[in-house]
Amino acid sequence: MLTKKQRKKKRLPTHEVSKVQYEVVTDYRACKEQARGTVYTNNIPVYIIGADKGNGTPKLVLVGTKVITDHEFVNEFKGKLNKDSMVKIMKLIDTNPIETDNDELQF
Q: Could you read off the pLDDT of 51-99 as tens digits, one per residue?
A: 887 777 778 889 889 999 999 999 999 888 899 999 999 999 998 766 6
Strands 59-69 and 2-6 come out as unpaired
pTM of the model as a whole: 0.72
| 33 has pLDDT over 90 | yes
Which helix or strand (DSSP H or E) is residue 73 part of?
helix 70-76
Interatomic CA distance for residues 47 and 6, integer angstroms: 14
Task: Report strand pairing: 2-6 vs 20-24.
Answer: antiparallel
